[in-house]
Amino acid sequence: MSSDSQASNELVAVFDTVKGEIRVSLFPTEAPMTVANFVNLAIRGYYNGLKFHRVIANFMVQGGDPTGTGMGGPGYNFGDEFSPIRRHDSAGVLSMANAGPGTNGSQFFITHGPTPHLDGKHSVFGQVSSGQDIVNAIAQNDVMTTVTIEGDASALLEAQKSQVDGWNGVLDSQ
């Protein structure tokens, strides 16, 4: 854990990919359930070894599907969290991929540039703090070697305990 993460209790997702490292500052205040889900999956090693299964030039890279088809997920869904201050207004926005309202699971995407047409449809829960050049270099089927979390997520996970326990029950039954 970096001293910066400790000092501010900031939560940072670190994506170690075949192309290099991507660091993303997470937004637990604006998207507590979404961040808790992502952190919980990362802590469990869910994302380790998964591919970026969908890459669209000048738009985004998408990952988080254990099947690599765009159809897979963790076996549960959860609701959307939209914030007026967290928008798809730049490169490096981390947001949930979904199949419509309330269908968030494990799939996420990171933008290459502003995508305002996604506001109010996909929950924004982080922003790339370093490694946008790596995001831009990701090609379809590139692998996330590991996704780790820096910072203390215990209070967030405790606040979302009933949800996290339910998610873990589903994950443990697979």
Choosing from 37, 62, 127, 160, the catalytic residue is 62
Active site includes 62? yes
Q: Confidence class of residue 8 from pLDDT cuts 50, 70 and 90?
A: low
**Those residues with Cβ within 8 angstroms of residue 134's Cβ, 6 or more apart along the chain or in another chain:** 17, 19, 20, 21, 22
C-alpha closest to that of 10 among 37, 47, 42, 35:
35
Each residue's pLDDT tens digit, 67-111: 999 999 999 999 999 999 999 999 999 999 999 999 999 999 999
Domains of the chain by range and CATH?
12-166 (2.40.100.10)
Q: Are 91 and 131 in contact (CB under 8 A)?
A: no
C-alpha closest to that of 138 among 148, 149, 128:
128
Active site includes 54? yes
Q: Mean pLDDT of all residues in the chain?
A: 95
C-alpha closest to that of 74 among 156, 147, 164:
164
Active site includes 109? yes
- Looking at residue 86, the DSSP 8-state letter turns out to be B
Choosing from 54, 86, 88, 112, the catalytic residue is 54
The Cα-based distances of 71 to 62, 77, 96, 165 in angstroms read 12, 13, 14, 24
Instruction: Reduce the DSSP state of residue 28 to 3 states and report it.
Output: coil
Half-sphere exposure of 157 (CA within 13 A, CB side): 19
Choosing from 122, 125, 157, 163, the catalytic residue is 122
The pLDDT value recorded for residue 9 is 76
Q: Are 24 and 11 in contact (CB under 8 A)?
A: no
